[in-house]
Amino acid sequence: MKIWVPMDAAARACGADAVAAEIAREAAVRGVAVQIIRNGSRGMLWLEPLVEIETPAGRVAFGPMTVADVAALFEAPETHPKAQGLTEDIAFFKRQTRLTFARCGVIDPLDLDAYEAHGGLAGLRAALALQPEAVVDEIAASGLRGRGGAGFPTGIKWRTVLHAKATPKYIVCNADEGDSGSFADRMLMEGDPFCLIEGMTIAALATGATRGFVYIRSEYPDAIRQMRAAVEIATQAGVIGTSIMGHTQGFELEIRVGAGAYVCGEETSLLNSLEGKRGVVRAKPPLPALEGFMGRPTVVNNVLSLAAVPWIMANGAAAYNAIGINRSRGTIPLQIAGNVRCGGLFETGFGITLGEIVTEIGGGTASGRPVKAVQVGGPLGAYHPVSDFSLPFCYEEFAGQGGLVGHAGLVVHDAGADMLGLARFAMEFCAVESCGKCTPCRIGAVRGVETLDRVAAGDSAALPLLEDLCNTMKLGSLCALGGFTPYPVMSALRHFPEEFTPVQEAAE
Amino acid sequence: MFDAARLSEILHAHAGREGPLLPILHDVQAEFGHVPDAALEPIAGALRLSRAEVAGVVGFYHDFREAPAGRHVIKLCRAEACQAMGGAGVQARLEAALGQRLGETKNGVTLEAVYCLGLCANAPAAMVDDRLVGRLDGAAVDALVAEVSA
């Protein structure tokens, strides 16, 4: 009997290790031969630990499992109180278009043969048969844009590096996923690490890069361990290393660990950190594509951008480009989090509305109270009220509403949310995490906290000052940390002005 | 305790690496529990940096400690997703039970804030030593406190 118990950090945080141990113990006691496979997560995080048993009809899901639920798995699985039916028939799963996450949760993440059997390495083989320029053309034609948040066309970035004269060239994967509400990078690195390695290797072939780094935040110990193991296996197997699967070009890949600085998710700050410096933002130009790591041409891409690449190369740019709307092409792995009934990872084509995501897919709040606001795109993203629910999920449409898609994390807040408190938190977070290089961010965030404290104390004269301060930060900051912190603050103020009115007046 | 010979081994292990300072500092902290003041000079010497440059990097990153942490370290997530699920209440209960605020070390327990552990759909979340804990509620907090106080 084959049983899958995820090793994903979210599943482990909810007791997956104890459940796996209990399954092994129970099986031994009963004399049942079981093979326990520690897979990644299927992304239905409200059901974690989600245990699956192989049946002739397919894998059957049970969740959220506890140690006490294990014995019944061996007795009457059909009538088990945690039975969810066939995993792939669960509505949340069935409705998705899983391209990037096709293997996540399906296979043993470190089994390279299983990876290949499920379509892995097909994209890399396709790239090996092409000239670098043709690989870049394919990625450009797919319409893939940077999934880290900026939405910059990946093909254009790669072309700049390909045509840069200096060597050596580098591929740097930004896995400094610090946005609250985001966990797609973590899930992919834990659940399908070879997919990221394959994407980076294709980027190396396309640009002539011979070395690569994955910069993973230190808050992700499981992902770090998994990626290190996967790089070792891929190197041993000759996929990467001195030669890319027998090609004349080699690609050496190294895992690096951050040190708890949110700003290092900004690409130039990340490069400084990789070089061993303070994670201070660099002014652009020069672009990292021309003068990046150690002043050399460098592709800096997010995990999700790179992980989308193998599918595109294996299935063709046209197939990817056929999904999505307007200038947002392909799929986006949404991360539904916070106060939500069915939180998890939901990969779908661009264009789904905010309301569909929160109400239909997420099932509304976990508390059962009405939704008050949804913060989209991390701590620098806007708070959207329910009146924004018709907004289609794409780059331009969100920008048009004073928001951003960011890394596609959504944090749902229920009626109990304190919007003034959340606005203050945005400023406080910016003050804690500012790299200190530019004044609007370094000083502005501190003044922002003080000004919001004045508002909270009933000083209505502070509100115009807050708006002015937000404008200064937005227009004058060097990077998105100071530049976008005004989004959550101003959206909270705009959509929930009553919470910013002075206490005395409200009491009258 | 700081051990100069062990530091040399760490420095040697990273020789030839591009941009080796963060990997070195991580190893130093793993070895000594913090980045000892006495380590700055030898690290600077090996990398041909000034002592101030190394100190500047140590000071920039939240992870690097200038003094050892307690026997147990609890990192409680304070970010938005955890706030949306009652993170403030978890923080208050934890602080009251331990008799210390976020950022303090007391009775061998270090309690500190972290901004996101990537467990945002299983909030509120914390990391206790090397173990992640999600869906924290009152009972889970009490169990945690009992565990670290034992």
Cβ proximity of A362 and A341 under 8 Å: yes
Beta-carbon pairs below 8 A across chains A and B: 152
Nearest to A10 among B115, B130, B134 (CB): B134
Nearby residues of A234 by Cβ (< 8 Å), 6 or more positions away: A112, A194, A197, A240, A241, A253
Nearby residues of B57 by Cβ (< 8 Å), 6 or more positions away: A276, A277, A278, B21, B22, B25
The predicted pLDDT at position B77 comes to 98
Tens of pLDDT, residue by residue, chain B (150 residues): 799 999 999 999 999 999 999 999 999 999 999 999 999 999 999 999 999 999 999 999 999 999 999 999 999 999 999 999 999 999 999 999 999 999 999 999 999 999 999 999 999 999 999 999 999 999 999 999 999 998
Residues in chain B: 150
Q: Is the CB of B121 less than 8 angstroms away from the CB of A343?
A: yes
Nearest-CA distance B118 → chain A (Å): 5
Interface of A with B in 222-261 (CB under 8 A): 222, 256-261
Cα A130 from chain centre: 30
CA distances from B17 to A470, B12, B22 (A): 42, 10, 11
Cβ proximity of A191 and A16 under 8 Å: no
| SS3 (DSSP) at A61 | strand
The predicted pLDDT at position B150 comes to 84
Q: Is the CB of B85 less than 8 angstroms away from the CB of A178?
A: no
The predicted pLDDT at position A67 comes to 98
Cβ proximity of A342 and A363 under 8 Å: yes
Nearest Cα to A340, choosing from A366, A322, A318? A366
Q: Is the CB of A9 less than 8 angstroms away from the CB of B130?
A: no
Tokens 């030593």 identify what position?
B129
Using CA atoms, how far apart are residues A402 and A397, in angstroms rounded to an integer?
A: 9
Q: Does A368 touch chain B (CB under 8 A)?
A: no
Q: Does A375 touch chain B (CB under 8 A)?
A: yes
Instruction: Identify from A214, A369, A411 which residue to disrupt to test chain B contact, counting B C-beta atoms within 10 A and taking the largest count.
Output: A411
Instruction: Identify from B35, B60, B136, B137 which residue to disrupt to test chain A contact, counting A C-beta atoms within 10 A and taking the largest count.
Output: B60
Q: Does B146 touch chain A (CB under 8 A)?
A: no
Residues of A in contact with B114 (CB under 8 A): 219, 260
Pairing relationship of beta strands A170-175 and A211-216 according to DSSP bridges: parallel
End-to-end CA distance of chain A: 69
| SS3 (DSSP) at A304 | helix
Q: Is the CB of B80 less than 8 angstroms away from the CB of A425?
A: yes
Residues with pLDDT less than 50, chain A: 506-508
DSSP tag of A356: I
The predicted pLDDT at position A506 comes to 47
ipTM > 0.95, yes or no:
yes
Model confidence pLDDT, tens digit, residues A298-338: 999 999 999 999 999 999 999 999 999 999 999 999 999 99
Q: What is the pTM of this model?
A: 0.97
DSSP alpha helices (H): ranges in A302-438? 303-315, 317-321, 354-355, 395-400, 419-433
Q: Does B18 touch chain A (CB under 8 A)?
A: yes
